Structure 1
Amino acid sequence: MKSLSAAASSLLVLGSGSSTRKLILSEMGLQFEVHKPDIDEKAIRYADPVELVLALGKAKAAALLHGPQSADFAARSAFLLTGDQVVVWDGQILEKPESEEEARRFIEGYGALPPKTVGSCVVTDAVTGEQWSAVDEATIYFEPIPQAAVDALIAAGDVYYCAGGLMVEHPLVEPHVKRIDGTIDSVMGLKKETVQRLLEAAHAARAERTDST
């Protein structure tokens, strides 16, 4: 990450309250601030999951760009990192479960058909508004998850904060994962390779503008 550390004077803003996304950026050795954008996610609807997660990631960036701290972000030459994730199962787009019944249906279904995560990563230059984006996908193959594990997951409540109630890293779930076509960090919400690639592209574009002035 040589090119990223060279731009340490630039603020990185994570536009998400997700604990797993914060963990992933910390594992990458990146310093960042968290500012959760205020948007109505339910108002943004697309039938195609790729279009949906890109639209949501860009809407979150726009909320930060035009929010109360926009001038501060620009003054500090910030890069905004936003995104969203959905789970696709049996042709359906699954978002965060809204009830115990829905969470149970999601989790119990994964043993029959593999879910696929579709997640966006959007990097925005708060100075110019220029954006770089990508979408990563991963498919998870499960053996049937025991009823006792499903009950415990729902009782703990964390599944309500995850798209599709999907928590492959949870100790009650991980033993029942047969394989993942993709990367675990992509399943958890941010693929490190994609984050690095987009941030490097953003830093390179800024350096090119600086050199030309």
Structure 2
Amino acid sequence: MQRTVILASTSRYRRELLTRLQLPFDVHAPDVDETPLPSEAPQALAQRLALEKARAVAAKFPEAVVIGSDQVADLGGEPLGKPGNHERAVAQLRRMRGQTLVFQTAVAVVCQATGFVERDLAPVRVVFRDLSDDAIERYLRAEQPYDCAGSAKSEGLGIALLDAIDSDDPTALIGLPLIRTSRMLRAAGVELL
């Protein structure tokens, strides 16, 4: 019997990515406080939130295999979240210009009924160009990436902001590392292909 797969996320980006696996799945919003703990490193924050999201939804659907994910932009150990508006996005991109960031993308898969719990981290190293204020403004007006950690969408015009991307799981930068997710789903008993 194939268990129901649930994506514990409100992110349209994660939903779009998961459809690539051509697997039927439901989506449920996790009720999780995403506030970082005092002195919590970006890597630890992403892993904790991915697992908390998966567990929160798994508690409501114990027979399902639940996927939780979270991404935190890491600028020298400081977490950068979603800007939420234009002014904060401008400030983020000004701080990031000419810098190397690590986008810490975590994924967790949980099935309460079987006791399956696994999580992993897919760090993505991103080198930003030394952007002018005008380039930042033009980019933000064109793409409005206010719901993206680090104010940039590499799958769109945001790719022009970058000098390099280094990752072993190419979809991790968009928000859901599908190679790791696929591996965990198979380990949880979900058939792919």
**Which TM-score tier does this pair reach, normalised by the shorter chain?**
0.7 to 0.9
Q: Classify 1:153/1:25 alpha carbon distance in 2 versus 1 (closer, same or farther; 3 Å).
A: same
Residue in structure 2 matched with residue 163 of structure 1 by the alignment: 149
TM-score by length of 2: 0.86
Query: 1:1-213, aligned counterparts within 5 Å?
Result: 9-42=2-35, 44-45=37-38, 47-66=40-59, 70=60, 73-74=61-62, 77-155=63-141, 158-171=144-157, 173-182=158-167, 183-203=169-189
One-letter identity of the residue aligned with 1:179:
A
Does structure 1 retain, via aligned residues, the 8 Å contact 2:75–2:102?
A: yes
Highest Rg: 1 or 2? 1
**1:43 deviation in Å?**
6.1
SS in 1 for 2:189: helix
2:127 is paired with a residue of what secondary structure?
strand
Q: Which structure is higher in strand share?
A: 2
> As a proportion of its length, which structure holds more helix?
1
**Would the aligned equivalents of 1:82 and 1:123 in 2 still touch at CA under 8 Å?**
yes
Q: Which is worse superposed, 119-128 or 142-151?
A: 142-151
Q: Quick one: which amino acid aligns to residue 29 of structure 1?
A: Q
Deviation at 1:174, TM superposition (A): 1.3
Question: 1:84·1:120 contact (CA, 8 Å) conserved in 2?
Answer: yes
Q: Which amino acid aligns with 2:166?
A: D
C-alpha distance in 2, partners of 1:166/1:153? 9
Given that 2:72 and 2:80 are in contact with CA atoms closer than 8 Å, whether structure 1 keeps it comes out as: yes
Q: Secondary structure at the match of 1:41?
A: coil
Q: Between the two proteins, what is the percent identity of the paired residues?
A: 26
Unaligned 5+ runs, structure 2: none
Unaligned residue ranges in structure 1 (runs of 5+): 1-6, 205-213
Which whole-Å deviations, capped at 9, do the CAs of 1:75-116 have from their partners, x for residues lacking one?
Answer: xx3100001110011331111124533311211233311111
Instruction: Report the Cα distance in structure 1 between the residues aligned to 2:161 and 2:89, rounded to whole angstroms.
Output: 17
Partners of 1:157 and 1:36 in 2: CA distance: 25
Using the size of structure 1 for normalisation, the TM-score is 0.78
Partner SS for 1:65: helix
**Alignment RMSD:** 2.2
The CA deviation at 1:29 is 1.9
Name the aligned partner's letter for residue 181 of structure 1. D
Q: Secondary structure at the match of 1:83?
A: strand
* Residue type of the alignment partner of 1:83: S
Aligned CA distance change for structure 1 residues 57 and 185 (closer, same or farther; 3 Å): same
* Residues 45/30 of structure 1: CA separation in 2 closer, same or farther (3 Å cut): farther
Whole-Å separation in 1 of the counterparts to 2:184 and 2:114: 16
